[in-house]
């Protein structure tokens, strides 16, 4: 069988994404930040967080649902709180502009929060918590999305896929990072099952009457479900609250109403937290960070998977060899250049 994928270097991925976004009027600073994030997604394993996300971004741009050039406005809201008003533009530039204040406040006060408001969020959260962890801080990130998910025991979409991400600085090497949707599946995985007319694993969703089903088309008419039953549902509610009303921004219900069928990226806010181990532990910080390594060793020594290891393996491979992109996707993206 012919491999219908094409190999690109990461520079070529970046260049392609940047060209498409520039061609469609995105301001240079946003182009750079968005292309960095999509290239990082492709580099770390691709799938739905790489070049593929350009389709969702282009839906937002074409429907006029995203500002092409808003300059993020950074506001010092309290000693421990920085707020960034993204002005309805894509999120990556707003995060980038707010990060130095988040880091500085966490080092001064011991911990800090950053609310990114009115942003169009198309990416995974790992780049954000990884950036925080690379500053030597413990990082958390939360964001709602579009209302696609019913609470456990329910049948109607209320919650987003509401991801939670966490980053932990490791003295030597790459931070420990995880980043997952609190829904049982990603939205993209569900859509893939529908396109291929494959049954989903059990637990992904319910039909419009609230009955569990493995028919992806029925779930798309009904509702996705949280992972892990009522516990995952509670976490999803938490994300909805702390990255919605707590920061004065949209809920997943608000976001999908704003989208109005454009299939664009969710609009709303993101909450980031950073804690400085050095302020918590003083001189004891290096000793205790070293103790954390025994926990990681306890995971890998029994053959269990340590979150983020696969990501870093994929990264090293991509940096050395480039990435393989489905030709069909590349054709679709290149057509956006003309």
Residue with smaller CB distance to a copy of itself, 197 or 302: 302
Q: Least distance (Å) from a copy of itself to the CB of residue 8?
A: 30
Asked if 288 is an active-site residue, the reply is no
Give the footprint of a copy of itself on residues 48-87 (CB under 8 A).
Answer: 77-81, 83
Q: Least distance (Å) from a copy of itself to the CB of residue 314?
A: 17
- Nearest-angstrom CA–CA distance, 168 and 180: 15
Q: Least distance (Å) from a copy of itself to the CB of residue 301?
A: 9
Asked if 318 is an active-site residue, the reply is no
Q: Least distance (Å) from a copy of itself to the CB of residue 78?
A: 3
What would the x/- binding string for a copy of itself be over residues 181 to 220, using CB under 8 A?
-x--------------------------------------
Residue 284 as a binder of a copy of itself (CB under 8 A): the answer is: yes
Q: Least distance (Å) from a copy of itself to the CB of residue 92?
A: 22
In angstroms, what CA-CA distances link 319 with 127, 226, 337? 16, 34, 25
Residue with smaller CB distance to a copy of itself, 10 or 314: 314
SS3 148: coil
Asked if 189 is an active-site residue, the reply is yes
Residue 291 as a binder of a copy of itself (CB under 8 A): the answer is: yes
In angstroms, what CA-CA distances link 25 with 20, 34, 58, 61, 166? 9, 13, 11, 9, 33
Binding span for a copy of itself by CB under 8 A among 13-21, 85-93, 120-128, 300-308: 300-308
- Nearest-angstrom CA–CA distance, 284 and 11: 41
Non-local (6+) Cβ contacts of 276 within 8 A are 106, 107, 110, 111, 136, 137, 138
Residue with smaller CB distance to a copy of itself, 122 or 168: 168
Residue with smaller CB distance to a copy of itself, 158 or 325: 158
Q: Which member of 49, 121, 146, 193 is catalytic?
A: 49
- Applying CB under 8 A, the site for a copy of itself has a residue count of 71
Give the footprint of a copy of itself on residues 148-177 (CB under 8 A).
Answer: 150-156, 158, 164, 166, 168, 176
User: Running DSSP on this structure, what letter comes out for residue 149?
Assistant: B
**Between β-strands 223-224 and 323-326, what pairing exists: parallel, antiparallel or unpaired?**
unpaired
267, 252 contact by CB (below 8 A): no
- Nearest-angstrom CA–CA distance, 214 and 144: 25
Give the footprint of a copy of itself on residues 92-131 (CB under 8 A).
Answer: 108-113, 115
Residue with smaller CB distance to a copy of itself, 288 or 328: 288
The full DSSP string for 222-267 is SEE-BTTHHHHHHHHHHHHHHTTGGGT---HHHHHHHHTT-----E
Tokens of 158: 């209320």
Q: Least distance (Å) from a copy of itself to the CB of residue 265?
A: 21
Which residue from 175, 264, 277, 322 is in contact with a copy of itself, where contact means CB under 8 A? Answer: 277
In angstroms, what CA-CA distances link 7 with 120, 136, 137, 318? 30, 35, 36, 10
Residue 47 as a binder of a copy of itself (CB under 8 A): the answer is: no
Tokens of 112: 């800090």
- Nearest-angstrom CA–CA distance, 260 and 237: 23
Give the footprint of a copy of itself on residues 220-259 (CB under 8 A).
Answer: 227-235, 237-238, 240-242, 244-248, 251, 253
Q: Which member of 12, 189, 191, 221 is catalytic?
A: 189
Q: Which residues are identified as catalytic?
A: 48-49, 189
């Amino acid at each position: 069988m012919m491999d219908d994928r094409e190999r690109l270097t990461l520079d070529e991925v970046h260049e392609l994404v940047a060209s498409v976004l520039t061609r469609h009027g995105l301001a240079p600073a946003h182009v750079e930040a968005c292309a960095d994030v999509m290239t990082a997604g492709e580099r770390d394993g691709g799938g739905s967080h790489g070049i593929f996300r350009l389709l969702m971004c282009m839906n937002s741009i074409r429907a006029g649902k995203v500002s092409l050039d808003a300059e993020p406005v950074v506001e010092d809201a309290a000693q421990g709180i920085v707020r960034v008003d993204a002005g309805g533009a894509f999120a990556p530039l707003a995060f980038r502009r707010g990060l130095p204040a988040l880091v500085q406040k966490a080092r001064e006060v011991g911990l800090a929060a950053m609310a990114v408001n009115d942003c169009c969020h198309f990416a995974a959260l790992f780049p954000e918590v990884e950036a925080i962890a690379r500053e030597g801080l413990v990082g958390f990130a939360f964001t709602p999305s579009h209302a696609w998910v019913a609470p456990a025991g329910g049948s109607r979409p209320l919650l987003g896929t509401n991801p939670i991400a966490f980053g932990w600085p490791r003295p030597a090497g790459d931070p420990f990072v995880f980043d997952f949707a609190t829904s049982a599946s990603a939205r993209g995985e569900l859509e893939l099952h529908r396109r291929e007319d494959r049954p989903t694993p059990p637990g992904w969703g319910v039909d419009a009457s609230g009955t569990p089903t493995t028919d992806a088309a029925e779930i798309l008419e009904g509702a996705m479900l949280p992972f892990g039953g009522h516990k995952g549902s509670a976490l999803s509610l938490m994300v909805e609250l702390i990255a919605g009303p707590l920061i004065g921004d949209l809920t997943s219900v608000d976001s999908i109403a704003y989208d109005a069928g454009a299939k664009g990226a969710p609009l709303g806010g993101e909450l980031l937290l950073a804690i400085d181990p050095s302020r918590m532990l003083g001189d004891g910080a290096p000793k205790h960070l070293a103790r954390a390594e025994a926990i990681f060793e306890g995971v890998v020594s029994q053959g269990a998977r340590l979150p983020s290891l696969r990501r870093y393996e994929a990264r090293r491979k991509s940096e050395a060899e480039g990435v393989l992109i489905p030709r069909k996707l590349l054709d679709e993206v290149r057509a956006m250049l003309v």
